[in-house]
Structure 1
Amino acid sequence: MKKFLLPILVIVGIIIIAAMILMPKYNSFVQLDEEVNQKEAQIETQLQRRGELIPNLVNTVKGYASHEKEIFTDIADARAKLAGASGVEEMSAANDEMTSALSRLLAIAENYPELKASEQFTGLRDELAGTENRIAVARNDYNTAVQEFNRQTRTFPNNIIATIFNFDKKPYFEADANVKNTPEVDFNTNQEDNSGED
């Protein structure tokens, strides 16, 4: 009987030691995973906020530039894709499309001095600029959390624990190479003055 007791105690001891090593690492992965999820939710919140501003901005521009139908269609399509995006990769691609369409919409205002002078347009433009900044901050926070999560899942011995508990590498929220910057929303009146001098 004593011969069997010693191996059982050794096995139980190994299991307890393994649990003491694995559990803190597992809990650390859970915390990192939750942080990434929370940061992703922040991006979604800011994208939704921007999405709510867009119809008002489009309607304001339509009042002055109703013949610019292609850009209005592009914005509606991009907005629908963004609303239907699931996961970071789809959200990132839809965001790039929306950013591009908004840049073109805001560029149209250069051709309409009355639009640029409109208080409603100016207010919406400023709100959009603030939202774009918040999106950039949320994207940066998300990518920082993803970087830490991915670093933990790839370093030894954490990678073994990550594999055991299916903690997979997370995707970054990347900007399209063609859309590196947020839409330019600073319409300064000097351009109007300069164009009058020519």
Structure 2
Amino acid sequence: MGITIAVIAVIAIAALWAVSLYNRLVSRRNLVKEAWSGIDVSLKKRYDLIPNLVETVKGYAAHEKTALENVTRYRTASMQANSPQDKIQAENNLSRALGSLIAVAENYPDLKASTNFLQLQDELSAIENNLESARRYYNGTVRENNILVESFPSNIVAGMFGFKTSVFFEIDNPVHRERPNVSFQ
């Protein structure tokens, strides 16, 4: 009788432990999803601002067609990307294209002095700062999720219920990790 109670107690403790781990895994997965939605909000603001920025530059720099087309093409590709991996790659391309567009603006003093362009530049800067914070939060939640999914013994429960590691939002080319020095002064 005493052995039966001990076995039942061990099974009950193991079950509670497994339920607790499962709930932590679900929590981490939802935090990753929440963090990704924060990135999506910042990206949506960025996507909405880009056409205004392109039109403003287009008015001053009509012959800079390639830079304008690249921004538009990469914006569309980024908006259509579905998976985090595709979105990360598309965003890296869009960031490079935006950097080129801003560099084009450096060659046009009237454009740099335009109130509309300055306002758009300030909005883009604020959005980029929000996006940087959202990426940092996302990567932190991915780190915590991945540790839990990959660590023993939680990896057993994660494997049983199909929990997967998430992808970090990283810059793919080390040269692009350096923040460009952009000045509108």
Residues 62-89 of structure 1 deviation map (CA, whole Å, 9 limit, x = unaligned): 1100111111111111011111011111
Q: Give, in whole Å, the separation in 2 of the partners of 1:136 and 1:80.
A: 21
Q: Give, in whole Å, the separation in 1 of the partners of 2:168 and 2:97.
A: 22
Any unmatched runs of 5+ in structure 2?
none
Q: Taking structure 2 as the reference length, what is the TM-score of the superposition?
A: 0.92
Residues 17-71 of structure 1 deviation map (CA, whole Å, 9 limit, x = unaligned): 3321100110001011000000000011101110000000000001100111111
2:181 counterpart of 1:179: no
C-alpha contact (below 8 Å) 1:146/1:172 kept by paired residues: yes
Q: Give, in whole Å, the separation in 2 of the partners of 1:93 and 1:23.
A: 37
Runs of 4 or more above 6 Å deviation: none
Match of 2:85 among 89, 94, 100: 89
Corresponding residue for residue 28 of structure 1: 24
Deviation, 1:10, is 7.3
Corresponding residue for residue 123 of structure 1: 119
Match of 2:107 among 106, 111, 120: 111
Cα RMSD (Å) of the superposition? 1.8
5 Å-filtered alignment, 1:88-167, equals 88-167=84-163
Amino acid at match of 1:71: A
Q: Give, in whole Å, the separation in 2 of the partners of 1:127 and 1:183.
A: 17
Match of 1:73 among 62, 69, 74: 69
Q: Taking structure 1 as the reference length, what is the TM-score of the superposition?
A: 0.86
Question: How many residue pairs get matched?
Answer: 183
C-alpha contact (below 8 Å) 1:125/1:185 kept by paired residues: no
Any unmatched runs of 5+ in structure 1?
189-198
Identity of aligned residues (%): 38
Q: Give, in whole Å, the separation in 2 of the partners of 1:80 and 1:117.
A: 29
